[in-house]
Structure 1
Amino acid sequence: MSLKQPHVAAARIVQDAGGELVGRTRLQKVAFLMQLAGFDKSFSFEYRHYGPYSEDLSQAMDIAVLLGPVDEVERVADWGGRYSIYSLTGEVPGVDYDADRSSFVQEAKKIDAVELELAATAAYLFEVEGIGKIYPGNPWEETARRKPTKVVGGRLAKAAQAYENLRKIKTVNPLPELPPLGQSI
């Protein structure tokens, strides 16, 4: 389902997350995975340095913060970068509760931010760019090639497991089945 007011769709993600969502990158990746799962088609995504990204979603969240019902608090991370904490300040107008959608979002938001980024990137490379689906290769290996500093410490395997766990959740459309690590078409 696509909402006519993108800022309402952005606020709904925070609502489905239980009223709070930490991180702009997490917001982007959760929204992309929601789209793959068939819960929403409100935003278009393209590949950027941090994986799937939607400028439409970024702008919609800015409007949701400006008009309500979302509040954004910016904090400085230990490593010096900035991150946002989004929280609901009121009801999201015209949005029906969907238990499956909410369950999916709440599970996705629990995934480590870097592992979520890796999982969403692999899914994007498979589903949108066709790596391992139409074109030769493996989306996990391509993710590792594009993000070598983020896959250290077994994070790629953890991301693959987290993605498989999301695939087990009831969705409108099943998340795509990605080739296992080390297996290419």
Structure 2
Amino acid sequence: MLMNHSKVMQFFSVVGEVTGRKKLQKMIYILQSCGVPFEEKYQFHFYGPYSEELSLRIEELCNLGFIEEEKEDKSNYIQYHYQITEHGVDFLEHFQSDMPDFSEQANLLLAESSRFLELVATMLFFKDLPREVVEKKVHHVKPKQNYSPVEMAKAWELIDTLVQ
């Protein structure tokens, strides 16, 4: 149990702060899809791949004081910010983990918008299909997003970079 919690905490020790629950979900999913050994199970949901396990794990880590969740009240929604606490850093120093170095991949993802990461994660959800079929699926399951051919090409480029 604590091993999976420590992997999530290690993610935060690498990225610093993540703004947005959707972005957090997509970053972990994309890293997992590219071989980083996160254990959360995902299913397809409104905004693409979603893990109830990850949501619960984050809540538990916040309750333990290892991760800090800050709520920012925007005009019509609440924006969440997450980062590891000093207590979390102390815990990680005493916990052995066999996580590979994924800092380069994580930083590439951190620089992207949650909308774009939703596209990338959705494409990876259908990764066993041919690329042209994946693009049709994305347009079918996400018609309101209206992703452009340029965004699709950029997403494929990022996926290719991440899996190398």
Would you say same fold, with TM above 0.5? yes
Query: What percentage of residue pairs aligned between the two structures are identical?
Result: 22
Cα shift at 1:97? 9.1
CA contact (8 A) 1:33 1:120 kept: yes
The residue that corresponds to 1:165 in the other structure is 158
CA contact (8 A) 2:135 2:152 kept: no
Q: What amino acid maps onto 1:167 in structure 2?
A: D
The answer to whether the aligner puts 1:64 opposite 2:61 as a matched pair is: yes
- CA spacing shift, 1:100–1:165, aligned 2, 3 Å: farther
TM-score of the superposition, structure 1-length normalised?
0.74
Structure 1 gap ranges (5+): 176-185
The answer to whether the aligner puts 1:151 opposite 2:152 as a matched pair is: no
TM-score of the superposition, structure 2-length normalised?
0.83
Match of 1:42 among 39, 62, 82: 39
The answer to whether the aligner puts 1:81 opposite 2:69 as a matched pair is: no
Structure 2 gap ranges (5+): none
The residue that corresponds to 1:55 in the other structure is 52
Cα shift at 1:145? 1.7
The residue that corresponds to 1:140 in the other structure is 135
Q: Deviations over 1:65-123 (max 9, x none)?
A: 11132100122345x22231001212051255967401111111111110110111011
Moved over 6 A (4+): none
Cα RMSD (Å) of the superposition? 2.5
Point out the structure with the larger helix share.
2
Q: Structure 1 CA distance, aligned partners of 2:109 and 2:33?
A: 13
Cα shift at 1:6? 2.7
Cα shift at 1:166? 4.5
Cα shift at 1:162? 3.8
CA contact (8 A) 1:119 1:160 kept: no
Secondary structure of the residue aligned to 2:44 is strand
The residue that corresponds to 2:114 in the other structure is 113
